[in-house]
Amino acid sequence: MRSVVISLGGSIISMEKLNLELMKSVSSTLQKINTYDKYGIVVGGGRLARTYISDLKAYNVNDNILDEIGINATRINALALTTFFDDVNSKIPTTINDAAEMIHNYRYVIMGGTEPGHTTDTVSTLFAERIGAKILINATSVDGVYSEDPRKFKNAKKFDKISYDDAIKISVNNSIGAGTNVFMDITSLTIAKRAGIKIFVINGMDMDEYINILNYERCNGTVIS
């Protein structure tokens, strides 16, 4: 069974509005490609999650509850995405165990977060590790991994490829302080390293990227291995 996991960043799904065009494009692109038998798709929280979290933060709600609220937002996004697929789960699994069971029954298993303290990036690497997927597509709002956050530093340099350890160093440097955005968190990169999962960080709006990775393991983003 050849399987692949896609971490679909909430940043490109839940924007000012729900990005239905992107959901449609991703589903039709994936449903055309037969190089893989099974697809795990983990959807992030995006604007929906961040709106609730930042509003409630003003009332000193504790981070564990904020995470729980964010997780529920990711599940709403995940459920919305399922409506564009056939041969897909209709209930959103809440654990990796349940998702791993479901993948036997469906070609596509779509989920959101699992528990407080874990980002959906971490969920996606754990899911990949569990089902033996050797590649993970991290589809997000930036077109690869840079030396620094490209939104803040104009001179940041983009990498074509990078080691797990160097990606972890960059992730640490960009994760200092609350409410930071980073291409992937340290835990997710550590899981990928121990499982030997090759990560492709791509602009998730560019359908050619998915096609080239799934067919040829090539992309214009960054490969972490």
- Nearest residue (CB) to ligand ATP, 4 versus 168: 168
Residues sharing a CB contact under 8 Å with residue 212, sequence separation 6 or more, in sequence order: 218, 219
* Helix/strand/coil for 38: strand
Give the whole-angstrom CA distance, residue 11 versus residue 122: 16
123 binds ligand ATP, rule: CB under 6 A: no
78 binds ligand ATP, rule: CB under 6 A: no
140 binds ligand ATP, rule: CB under 6 A: yes
Give the whole-angstrom CA distance, residue 163 versus residue 146: 13
- In whole angstroms, the minimum distance from the beta carbon of 37 to ligand ATP comes to 26
225 binds ligand ATP, rule: CB under 6 A: no
Binding-site member from 40, 46, 93, 221 for ligand ATP (CB under 6 A):
46
146 binds ligand ATP, rule: CB under 6 A: yes
142 binds ligand ATP, rule: CB under 6 A: yes
- In whole angstroms, the minimum distance from the beta carbon of 34 to ligand ATP comes to 27
- In whole angstroms, the minimum distance from the beta carbon of 141 to ligand ATP comes to 5
- In whole angstroms, the minimum distance from the beta carbon of 35 to ligand ATP comes to 24
How deeply is 164 buried, as exposed, middle or buried, from its count of CB atoms within 10 A (0-12, 13-18, 19+)? middle
- In whole angstroms, the minimum distance from the beta carbon of 194 to ligand ATP comes to 21
- Nearest residue (CB) to ligand ATP, 2 versus 151: 151
Residues 194 and 186 sit within 8 Å (Cβ to Cβ) = no
- In whole angstroms, the minimum distance from the beta carbon of 8 to ligand ATP comes to 8
Binding mask 8-37 for ligand ATP (x = CB under 6 A): -xxx--------------------------
Q: Are strands 135-140 and 38-43 parallel, antiparallel or unpaired?
A: unpaired
Runs of H (alpha helix) within the chain: 10-13, 20-32, 46-57, 63-82, 96-102, 120-131, 164-174, 186-195, 207-216
218 binds ligand ATP, rule: CB under 6 A: no
Kindly list the distances between the CA atom of residue 213 and the CA atoms of 2, 36, 200, in Å, as whole numbers in the listed order. 14, 11, 8
Give the whole-angstrom CA distance, residue 45 versus residue 7: 11
70 binds ligand ATP, rule: CB under 6 A: no
